[in-house]
Amino acid sequence: MNLVKHMAIIMDGNGRWGLKHKNSRNLGHREGLKTVEMVMRYCIKKKIKFLTLYAFSTENWKRPLKERNYLFNLLEIYLKEKLERINHERIKIKILGEKNFSKGLNKLLDFAEKKTMKNTKLQINLALNYGSKKEIVYAFNKLKKKSRISEYDINNSLYTKNIPDPEILIRTGNTQRLSNFLLWQAAYTEIFFEKKLWPDFKNEDLNKIMKKFSNTKRNFGNV
Ligand code: IPE
Ligand code: IPE
Ligand code: MG
């Protein structure tokens, strides 16, 4: 049976859900938080040690200011409200991406990382202002003085240093692309594209994916 240490998720479809149910993309983002909570509980229950959530891409800066601000506010309010509980549950928060938001949010993200640094129950990697290409460029720049670069060096220079590659990558929202997410790390990841929009994604959908994953023959090039 295949074990899952690291699950990565492209949480897509909030905007469409919001428009359909509440006539507002932003209310879809708010609804999506409930699914985030569900997935966190799921990972703890299943003893999955790393959960990476794609929350804001380097490309998402193209979105209207009103939507960006709504997303950043949502995150700020969520962390202010829940950080104590997150820490109490021994969850570690790690940000993947450059923190270039408002001063207040940057500080809060630093604080959340520091406060939860020693926790070992579950590590949540929040991909925020994350772009895989940007991450790879960052790694190359860190390594440019070396005369020979190995895979090991690159692994250790990415934002995901010390994080194992994900066994499972899920994208909700009925779109089949990676949108600049974990291009290096997902070289041998099992990918699940889900039709459901993120706020509609439920515990039973995760169960189905886990079952399918555990029945998958992972060859890694072998036969
Ligand atoms: C959430 O889904 C992804 C974020 C950037 C937070 P979207 O906002 O992309 O939703 P759709 O794809 O427009 O429905
Ligand atoms: C990917 O979703 C980014 C996040 C989930 C944060 P997008 O909705 O931004 O992706 P594209 O633009 O449709 O590829
Ligand atoms: Mg989308």
The pLDDT of residue 72: 98
Q: Would the CB of 177 count as within 6 Å of ligand 2?
A: yes
Domains of the chain in start order, with CATH, are 6-214 (3.40.1180.10)
Judged against a pLDDT cut of 80, whether residue 1 lies above it is answered with: no
The pLDDT of residue 2: 86
Q: Would the CB of 12 count as within 6 Å of ligand 1?
A: yes
- Cα end-to-end distance, the chain, whole Å: 17
| CA distances from residue 92 to 113, 114, 125, 171, 210 in whole angstroms, order as listed | 7, 9, 8, 23, 23
| CA distances from residue 146 to 2, 115, 136, 142 in whole angstroms, order as listed | 37, 34, 16, 9
pLDDT per position as a tens digit, 26-41? 999 999 999 999 999 9
pLDDT per position as a tens digit, 199-223? 999 999 999 999 999 999 999 999 9
| CA distances from residue 63 to 56, 70, 129 in whole angstroms, order as listed | 11, 11, 13
Query: Under a CB-based contact definition with an 8 Å cutoff, are residues 94 and 160 in contact?
Result: no
**Catalytic residue flag (residue 60):** yes
Q: What is the number of other CB atoms lying within 10 angstroms of the CB of residue 210? A: 18
The pLDDT of residue 122: 98
Closest CA to 39 of 217, 188, 206: 206
**Catalytic residue flag (residue 125):** no
Q: Would the CB of 179 count as within 6 Å of ligand 1?
A: no
pLDDT per position as a tens digit, 171-208? 999 999 999 999 999 999 999 999 999 999 999 999 99
- Going by CA atoms, what residue is nearest to atom 2 of ligand 2? 12
Report the atom number in ligand 1 closest to the C-alpha of 60.
5
For the entire predicted model, the pTM comes to 0.98
Name the percent of the chain lying above pLDDT 70. 100
- Going by CA atoms, what residue is nearest to atom 13 of ligand 1? 15
Cα of 12 from ligand 3 centre, angstroms: 5
Distance CA(36)–CA(91), nearest Å, equals 14
